[in-house]
Amino acid sequence: MAPGARLTIEHVDDPALDVQVLPPDGSGAAGLQLTFTGDRAGVRTGQVVVATGLADPAQLVLLYSLRVPTNVTVTPSNPFLDLRDPAARERRLEVRGRGPDFRVESVQVLNGPFRATVESDGATTGGVASIIVRLDEPAIRGNPQRGFLGKLRIHSDDSGQPTTDVPLLAMGALPPHPPASDAGGQRAVGPANEPIRGGDATDKPR
């Protein structure tokens, strides 16, 4: 920054980012110090807006990108379901923590026409859990849309990262035949999207 600038912080996008104005150094230029508290895993981007006290430029916008390493890894990280192939409408996700004591506690479909089941919480597989994600076919049967997005939330016993969100994608179209019905002739619907343990999670009707 040019000598004579008097920096003041006007806006910081992320409350976990602490921005301090540093006094001028030997060159007479002021500076900034950014300190980030890694309160959750993932990549975060944003901006810091600074007034300079100068006529030109009167304001600076500084962009930043911050990455906190994850404790929990999901493979594949971006599961894809192919609606054109009956065998590809279901995917198995492998979830790993930081050691053999890692456990998946529950799963929750936050949005999208998907269901998720905890196949193994990791207790008998050395801390490697598995989750089955499948398409909720009755929910989209007859829908002309050829792509669906969703989000799966995994709840685990990792104290530093108790929840992990996974994006879901389904592409293609289902064959046009009627959805399944129950004994009373009513269309079957899934349960509400509350976290479940070892069962089935689906999106809550809106």
pLDDT of residue 199: 46
Instruction: Write out pLDDT tens, residues 157-184.
Output: 998 889 999 999 998 776 665 445 555 5
Instruction: Write out pLDDT tens, residues 71-112.
Output: 899 999 999 998 888 888 899 999 999 889 999 999 999 999
Q: Which of 3-17, 55-69, 164-178, 185-199 has the lowest mean pLDDT?
A: 185-199
Residues 6+ apart with CB under 8 A from 86: none
Q: What residue type is assigned to position 69 of the chain?
A: P
Q: What is 73-202's CATH number?
A: 2.60.40.10
The pLDDT of residue 193 is above 80: no
Decide: 201 and 116 in contact? Cβ < 8 Å.
yes
Other C-beta atoms within 10 Å of 118: how many? 24
Q: Which of 9-18, 144-153, 164-173, 178-187 has the lowest mean pLDDT?
A: 178-187
What is the C-alpha separation between 41 and 23, in angstroms, rounded?
32
